[in-house]
Amino acid sequence: MHTGRLSRPPPVRPVAGTGQTGVGLCAGPLLELLLLFLFAQPLLLPALVTLTIGLVLTVVGVLVIPVAIIGFVLAVAAAFVGGYLAVARIVGEIYVHRRGQAGQYTSGWATYRYLVYGVVGLLLIWAPAILLRWVPAAGTILMITALVFTWAMATTGFGAVILSKGGAGTWALRRPTPPELSSAA
């Protein structure tokens, strides 16, 4: 029996799971993912240049360069949006669990509820910026704050996308455990 696409969890779940657990390198998993992408962000342009040079070196690849550049930009944009939605799912799940309503939702639609609550929660930071935009200093400060917050959440989500390999699984980045010293003296 085919249940359809809506009954299966979205691919945001593995990325959100990575965002919740992290890899244990920093104080919090979201800070860890933000730092991961801050180190990976400058590498996007060299990756695009390497892709282009690799295609230039082949005869057939020269014809594919425009398509490859557009594909690369679309893949990075999709990873940003997917990462932002993964962070929104984490925020929505935290909201639902703090309100004590976690048991009220079935597992099939809980992911979508978390996602909707999270997107609404993350977009609420724009409400004061838009409502007070006419105030000269406060409107500008609130708009910049909302923009930086949204960038930080998208960057954190992109770090989760990198760490979860696009939702396929997590990298084996763990702190090495110190070797046990034997007491053979």
For 38-81, write each residue's pLDDT tens digit. 777 788 889 999 999 999 998 888 889 999 999 999 988 888 88
Looking at residue 70, its amino acid is: I
Q: Which two tokens stand for residue 31?
A: 């800070």
How far is it, in rounded angstroms, from Cα 135 to Cα 147? 17
Cβ(94)–Cβ(87) under 8 Å? no
Non-local (6+) Cβ contacts of 179 within 8 A are none
pTM above 0.85, yes or no: no
Non-local (6+) Cβ contacts of 85 within 8 A are 12, 115, 118, 119, 157
Within the chain, where are the H helices? 12-21, 29-40, 44-56, 61-99, 107-123, 126-131, 136-163
How far is it, in rounded angstroms, from Cα 90 to Cα 159? 14
Percent of the chain having pLDDT more than 90?
Answer: 14
| Residue range 92-110, pLDDT digits in tens | 888 877 766 655 555 666 6
More confident residue, 77 or 159: 77
